[in-house]
Amino acid sequence: MEVTEAIQKRVTIRRWKQTPVEKGKITRVLESGRKAPSWGNVQPWRYVVVQDRAKIGELAKSGGGQPQIGTAPVVIVCCGVAEVFSRKMHRESLKQLIEAGVMDWPDELLDQVVLGSDVFAPYRLGEQVMRIKASEQLMISIAFMSLEAVNQGLGSCWAGAISPNDAHKIMQLPDNWFVHDFFILGYPDEDPKPRPRKSLDEIVFWEKVPV
């Protein structure tokens, strides 16, 4: 399937057939998320795939009992690690790019210009900014997965109305992980109409914004 076609076909699904989703399809969706771009190649995403019915029921409670969570065949708990933007880990990720031949930066440029700048190095602005930046990269990865789900004939729902702390406790996750949202997968049991979208004229401005 062409990417443009997948973009046009993607809709949020909230009703699921109780047909098990093949592991191969789940893996291909996750692989698309793995291939997503990230700032400095830090790749802050961590995904926990849940298919156990009892565990999914617990996760649904962390989302206020939303039925699209509780009835889903697959719930992927989408987590991030803000620590990847620490000076040490960010430097390691950038060095991997240099060693792979992606960039040709001397250590002096890396250490003094890139990692010494508030613009390029989130660690200099504190934990909150590091977490925001990790969340941004995570959302890119999930967007990639949502398109691959369409390509695999699956429906998906991006569930952000949850209690991240409750989900973290339910899944007994490492302390340095944070839960961002759930990405829900399954075979659709509905064919919803396309959602209305603003026209390009409402959201795109060339060169300047008219006052």
What ranges do the domains of the chain cover? 12-83+137-160+174-203
Instruction: Please determine, for residue 119, whether its predicted confidence score (pLDDT) is greater than 90.
Output: yes
User: In whole numbers, what is the pLDDT of the chain averaged over residues?
Assistant: 96
pLDDT at 1: 77
CA distance 56 to 73: 9
Burial zone of 190 (CB within 10 Å; 0-12 exposed, 13-18 middle, 19+ buried):
exposed
Taking 80 as the threshold, does the pLDDT of residue 179 lie above it?
A: yes
Query: Average pLDDT of 71-84?
Result: 98
Region of poorest pLDDT, from 3-7, 61-65, 127-131: 3-7
Contact 137, 38 (CB under 8 A): yes
Q: What pLDDT score was predicted for residue 108?
A: 94
pTM of the model: 0.94
Average pLDDT over residues 133-154: 97
Mean pLDDT of 73-86: 98
Q: What is the pLDDT of residue 147?
A: 97
Residues of the chain above pLDDT 70, percent: 100
Average pLDDT over residues 8-31: 96
**Superfamily of segment(s) 12-83+137-160+174-203:** NADH Oxidase (3.40.109.10)
Is residue 211 over pLDDT 90? no
Tell me the H-state helices in the chain. Answer: 3-9, 23-34, 53-62, 67-70, 87-99, 107-108, 127-151, 164-171, 200-203
The tokens for 173 are 């996750």
| φ and ψ of 178, to 5 deg | -125, 145
Bridge partners (DSSP) of residue 178 are: 80
Residue closest to 143 by CA, chosen among 42, 49, 10: 10
Lowest mean pLDDT among 81-85, 101-105, 133-137: 101-105
Contact predicate 15/188, CB 8 Å: yes
